[in-house]
Amino acid sequence: MTLSHFLLVALALFALGLYSVLTRRHLIGLLIGVELMLNAASINFLAFDRFVVKDPATGQIIVLFIIGLAAAEAAIALSIILSAYRAHRSADVDDLDELKN
Amino acid sequence: MDAVHPSAWAFVVVALGGALLSVSLRNILHAIFGLALALFGIAGLFLYLGSPFVAAMEVLIYVGGISVAMVFAVMLAYSLGKKEGGSTRRFLAVVPVGGFFGVVGYALLRASFAVTSKTGSWDLKLVGRKLLLDYNVVFEALSVVLLLAIVGAIIIARRDEKTGDDKTADEKAASKGNDAASAEERAS
Amino acid sequence: MSSGTLALLCTHAPLVGCFGALVVLRRAPRAAAALNILAMLASLGAALAIFAGSNHQPPTIISLWLSSEGVPISFGFLLDGTNQLMGIIVALIALCIQVYSLGYMKGDPGYARYFGLHGLFAWAMLSFVYSANLLQAFVFWELVGLASFLLIGFWFEKPSAAAAAKKAFVMTRIGDVGMFIGLILLLSSTSTLDIAQLMQASTLASIPDARLTLIALLLFCGVVGKSAQFPLHTWLPDAMEGPTPVSALLHSATMVAAGVFLYARFHPLFVAAEGVSNIVLVIAIITAILAATIAMVQRDMKRVLAYSSISQLAFMLLGLGAGSLYAGVFHLTTHAFFKALLFLCAGAYIHQIGSNDMVTMGRQGAAKLRLVSAGLVIGAAALAGLPPLAGFFSKESILAALHGAHANAFVYGAYLASFLTAYYTFRMVFLVLRPSDKSVLPAEEHEPHPHGDVTGSMKLPIAILTVGAAAAGFAGDFIAKLIGAKALHPTYGEMAPAIGIALAGVIVAFFEFGRKDAAQQGFITRVGALDTLFERKYYLDEIYDKVAGGLVSLIASVSAVVERGVLDGTGDLAGNLTIATGDATARMQSGRLQLYIGSAVLLIVVFCYFVGGY
């Protein structure tokens, strides 16, 4: 398995995440998609780290940061989802359209 | 240039398969399990890429923290009777996703990278040292971000005490969501 | 002091007075009045000093004001003879009238404001007189208009005064538009607005004939407006709504004199412009006779004097139009004295008796004011042109100028006008001083309400001006020398008819109004139609109202169509378009989050596709 393979795998993961973001109606489905995309980015970082860059520690640190940020993002997103659910009795994206038109 | 051992493909299959499951399964709870599977696969890929520490963190935080928190959230805020998107929505989604995949994939295949043989040290000690010396500002900033996330999550998810007189079952359930949110905080 | 400093002092001392009265000393009216009178004294002193030192000083002080596309516009003082003479007259008359106002305006709530506005007026007029540049002159010309607007509307709480002020402002503005266009044409033809330079023969010769005529006519428009000549004369009688000293100031040395002075200033230009002098003469003779006939039937003393001013200004223009700078300026000088005198006398009667009506004045015993009555008689005689008073000499020189120009028709017209002048002047005198028991004139409707006794500060200027009105006629040669024009000395043969005509006018007036037991009814009343015509001032106000009103409604109706159809339509269209666009774009905001994300990604893909150069 070479660099290109990893990059393609990451791309496929990213595309699946994007697809999930675009099609899921449940808000948590969107969150799942976002997590997948973040992980795809992480794979890219580590792959480049492994194959191209001479100093592998930096890539690992970046991935660690990504994981930390993802955790923060998930926390906020989940609380927003809960809050929205309480306000609308629904966690459906299509129901959150008060600003339309 | 040394390629990764072909057994990594097994993890690729796990990761992509999990991702496919998480995208395609109707039940949102099942989708989260699919996500967990994909995360396991990704952790395995990290292992193959030479970083067992990051792989461990991946499993610990993503699978153990975020996914579990999601499960909690779903339990608290699952609206019954809602169906997932129809075929029109899927079709509309395929166009940008397919376009994206095509464009970036084509670029990837055409690109050539200056691949070098592995020279750097994958020592965990080095990572820790760098984290606390070279990148300590980012490290501190991230810790502040996490703190803010915790506080923010509590504030957002908190049920308003003043207007909460007509408490329904849903709201009671929602107020417990705080616990779920802070649970994954602790996990992270 | 150099003459430049003196000129600065002369012109700007009244401004200091104005500022002090209007800003600093509002609550100390007596101090404000004193300050303004001191300022006018300083002005008069400076004007006299300029005159005294003029032999060894350069006549012009100029500094660059601004330069536009290579055309320098300067700001400065032109100190030649005409300006020196006019400056002294303006300062002297303004000073007299300010002193007079001390008594006349006593107790008025706007005492300080009154003197401040006087200062403004004097500043504007003096600056106008000494202006070295036509644009500068125009600025101060407009300021004179502004100051007279403020003074005519001094009692602005009276609706009629406010209306009169507005009318004066608008009517003079009509002429000023023409003048401004002329000024621009002059600038574009000669690339200079420097008065001294403009008046050089070589400069004038460089302008094409047709254009020179046009410029002269346009400048004359300004003169017509300012000096209240036909057809823009209707504002002047209405301007009587202001306090009487203001009328005296407006009519003698400042506002209306500014027009004639401008003509005198540009005399070489008007002479050089072909055909203009004939137009000037025609307008002047029409104005002279028209105003004189209206003055014959008025009962309001100030209105008689106002129409007489119009008529006399026309006389000045007759002299100037006939080509004699001397005659015009001479009459301007003498007129300043006797007209100020007459107005101050009228003011004294009004102050004492409390009515503008001449019949009422007579019946209330106006003749008891001996000094004032003496002033009135002398001023009236000067106005009527009886020898040896001031008006006689200047009027003779105008007639001589007309003779010299071989404009016979105008000579006869001038004879008629001077007969009428003598007649209406002495009608006024007799009505005021010799009330008749057999008079058929009805009493005034309003009860007179006197303001107070005539004070010493009012008598002093009357006395000074009486001397001036009696003696100014002998200054002819001096004035001719000062302005550098040829003096006219009419022969006795030329003078005889004029004297005879003036005397005839006085005698007719005596028989009709001055005799014991006179019926006090003018000969014109026998011709009822003419009487009414004169009484109603030739219906000119009504005609102007109709014409202007019709024009305004025409423009208004056209504008209304344009406004509703085009402008409103455009405005509505813009609004509706915005709303429609807003609606359309709002529909794009479907509230579908995923649609937004999808389109964003699609855009990025397309962008990458093109930027990536596939």
pLDDT per position as a tens digit, C526-554? 666 666 777 777 777 777 778 878 888 88
C547 and C435 inside one domain: no
The mean pLDDT value of chain B amounts to: 79
**Other C-beta atoms within 10 Å of C262: how many?**
22
C538: left (phi over 0), alpha (psi -120 to 50) or beta: left
Q: Does residue B141 sit within a domain?
A: no
Q: Does residue C340 sit within a domain?
A: yes
pLDDT band of C330, cuts 50, 70, 90: confident
The chain A residue lying nearest C598, using CA atoms, is A22
Q: Which domain, by its residues, includes B69? A: 8-111+158-187
pLDDT band of C489, cuts 50, 70, 90: confident
The mean pLDDT value of chain C amounts to: 81
C291 and C170 inside one domain: no
Which of C179, C278, C193 minimizes the C-alpha distance to C227? C179
B89 touches chain C (CB under 8 A): yes
> How much of chain C exceeds pLDDT 70, in percent?
93
C610 to chain B nearest CA, in Å?
10
Task: Report pLDDT for B10.
Answer: 92
pLDDT tens for each residue of C578-610: 999 988 888 777 777 888 888 899 998 888 888
| pLDDT, averaged in runs of 10, over chain A (101 residues) | 89 93 87 93 90 82 91 90 83 77 66
Q: How far apart are the first and last CA of chain C?
A: 88
Number of domains in chain B: 1
Which carries the bigger pLDDT value, residue B1 or residue C457? C457
User: Chain B contacts of A51, Cβ < 8 Å?
Assistant: 1, 113, 115-116
User: Which B residues, 109 through 138, put their C-beta within 8 Å of a C-beta on chain A?
Assistant: 109, 113-116, 118-123, 126-127, 130-131, 135, 138
Minimum mean pLDDT range among B131-145, C211-225, C402-416, C570-584 = C402-416
Are residues C599 and B96, on separate chains, in Cβ contact within 8 Å? yes
pLDDT band of C518, cuts 50, 70, 90: low
C165 to chain A nearest CA, in Å?
59
> How much of chain B exceeds pLDDT 70, in percent?
76
Which of C43, C48, C55 minimizes the C-alpha distance to C11? C43
Give the residue-averaged pLDDT of C492-508: 79
Q: Find which of C590, C596, C601, C610 to mutate to test the B interface (most B CBs within 10 Å of its CB).
A: C601
Identify whether C231 is preceded by a cis peptide bond (ω within 30 of 0).
yes
pLDDT band of C448, cuts 50, 70, 90: low
Q: What are phi and psi of A19, to 5 degrees?
A: -60, -40
pLDDT band of B162, cuts 50, 70, 90: low
Instruction: Identify the DSSP state of B122.
Output: -
User: Chain A contacts of B62, Cβ < 8 Å?
Assistant: 35, 39, 67, 70
Crossing angle between the packed helical segments C244-252 and C301-321, to the nearest 10 degrees: 10
The first and second tokens of residue C168, run together, are 């004066």
Which among C413-427, C432-446, C535-549 has the top mean pLDDT?
C413-427
Give the residue-averaged pLDDT of C472-476: 77
Task: Report pLDDT for B166.
Answer: 44
DSSP character string of B63-110: IIIIIHHHHHHHHHSPPTTPPPP-HHHHHHHHHHHHHHHHHHHHHHHH
**Exposure b/e, A25-45, CB count within 10 A at least 16 = b:** bbbbbbbbbbbbbbbbbbbbb
Residue A92: strand, helix, or coil: strand
pLDDT higher than threshold 80 for residue B21: yes
**In whole angstroms, what is the distance from residue C345 CA to residue C339 CA?**
10
For residue C299, what are the contacts with CB-CB under 8 A and spacing of at least 6? C357, C358, C359, C441
Q: Does residue B125 sit within a domain?
A: no
CA C200 to chain centre: 27
Task: Report pLDDT for C149.
Answer: 86
Task: Report pLDDT for B85.
Answer: 57
A93 touches chain C (CB under 8 A): yes
Q: Does residue C301 sit within a domain?
A: yes
Task: Report pLDDT for B12.
Answer: 93
Q: Does residue B90 sit within a domain?
A: yes
pLDDT band of C567, cuts 50, 70, 90: confident
| Type of residue numbered C426 | F
C492 and C573 inside one domain: no
Q: Does residue C256 sit within a domain?
A: no
Which carries the bigger pLDDT value, residue B117 or residue C142? C142
Q: Does residue B42 sit within a domain?
A: yes
The chain B residue lying nearest C602, using CA atoms, is B96
Which carries the bigger pLDDT value, residue B148 or residue C431? B148
pLDDT tens for each residue of C175-199: 888 888 888 888 888 877 777 777 7
Q: Which domain, by its residues, includes C48? A: 1-205
pLDDT higher than threshold 60 for residue B89: yes
C606 to chain A nearest CA, in Å?
16
Task: Report pLDDT for B37.
Answer: 93
pLDDT tens for each residue of C369-404: 778 888 888 888 888 877 777 778 888 888 888 877
| Residue-range domains of chain A with CATH | 3-95 (1.10.287.3510)
Nearest-5° angle of CA B68, CA B72, CA B76?
165
- Long-range Cβ contact pairs of C179-182 (< 8 A, separation 24 or more): C179/C138, C179/C141, C179/C218, C179/C219, C179/C221, C179/C222, C179/C223, C179/C225, C180/C138, C180/C222, C181/C218, C182/C214, C182/C215, C182/C216, C182/C217, C182/C218, C182/C219, C182/C221, C182/C222
Give the residue-averaged pLDDT of B141-170: 74
Identify whether C388 is preceded by a cis peptide bond (ω within 30 of 0).
yes
**In whole angstroms, what is the distance from residue C79 CA to residue C130 CA?**
6
Residue C64: strand, helix, or coil: strand
C458 and C576 inside one domain: no
C160 and C309 inside one domain: no
pLDDT higher than threshold 90 for residue C342: no
C471 and C598 inside one domain: no
pLDDT higher than threshold 80 for residue C446: no
Q: Does residue C242 sit within a domain?
A: no
The chain A residue lying nearest C595, using CA atoms, is A22
C188 and C312 inside one domain: no
| Type of residue numbered B89 | R
pLDDT band of B169, cuts 50, 70, 90: very low
Q: Find which of A18, A60, A66, A76 to mutate to test the B interface (most B CBs within 10 Å of its CB).
A: A60
User: Which C residues, 564 through 593, put their C-beta within 8 Å of a C-beta on chain A?
Assistant: 586-587, 589-593
Crossing angle between the packed helical segments C276-296 and C408-433, to the nearest 10 degrees: 30
Task: Report pLDDT for A37.
Answer: 94
Instruction: Choose among C598, C612, C614: nearest Cβ to B96.
Output: C598
**Subunits adjacent to chain C (3 or more Cβ pairs under 8 Å):** A, B
A39 to chain C nearest CA, in Å?
19
C488 and C564 inside one domain: no
Q: Does residue C308 sit within a domain?
A: yes
C150 and C118 inside one domain: yes
Query: Looking at residue B34, which CATH number applies to its domain?
Result: 1.20.120.1200
Give the residue-averaged pLDDT of C213-218: 85
pLDDT higher than threshold 60 for residue B186: no
Q: Does residue C13 sit within a domain?
A: yes
Q: What are phi and psi of C208, to 5 degrees?
A: -60, 150
User: Which A residues, 36 through 55, put their C-beta within 8 Å of a C-beta on chain B?
Assistant: 36, 39, 42-43, 46-55
Which carries the bigger pLDDT value, residue B65 or residue C365? B65
Number of domains in chain C: 3
User: Chain C contacts of B104, Cβ < 8 Å?
Assistant: 608
C486 and C412 inside one domain: yes
pLDDT higher than threshold 80 for residue B73: yes
Residue C155: strand, helix, or coil: coil
pLDDT higher than threshold 80 for residue B44: yes
Q: Does residue B45 sit within a domain?
A: yes
Task: Report pLDDT for C291.
Answer: 84
Q: Find which of A28, A53, A65, A93 to mutate to test the B interface (most B CBs within 10 Å of its CB).
A: A28
Are residues C591 and A96, on separate chains, in Cβ contact within 8 Å? yes
Question: Do the Cβ atoms of C398 and C414 come closer than 8 Å?
Answer: yes
Q: Does residue B46 sit within a domain?
A: yes
Q: Which of C205, C240, C266 is the last residue of a domain?
A: C205
Q: Does residue C226 sit within a domain?
A: no
C178 and C57 inside one domain: yes
Minimum mean pLDDT range among B55-64, C34-43, C52-61, C273-282 = C52-61
Q: Does residue C352 sit within a domain?
A: yes
ipTM of the complex, rounded to two decimals: 0.89
For residue C85, what are the contacts with CB-CB under 8 A and spacing of at least 6? C329, C333, C479, C482, C483
Q: Which of C205, C228, C258 is the last residue of a domain?
A: C205
C122 and C191 inside one domain: yes
Task: Report pLDDT for A12.
Answer: 94
A98 touches chain C (CB under 8 A): yes
Minimum mean pLDDT range among A39-48, B29-38, C343-352 = C343-352
Task: Report pLDDT for A25.
Answer: 84
Task: Report pLDDT for C89.
Answer: 85
pLDDT band of B163, cuts 50, 70, 90: low
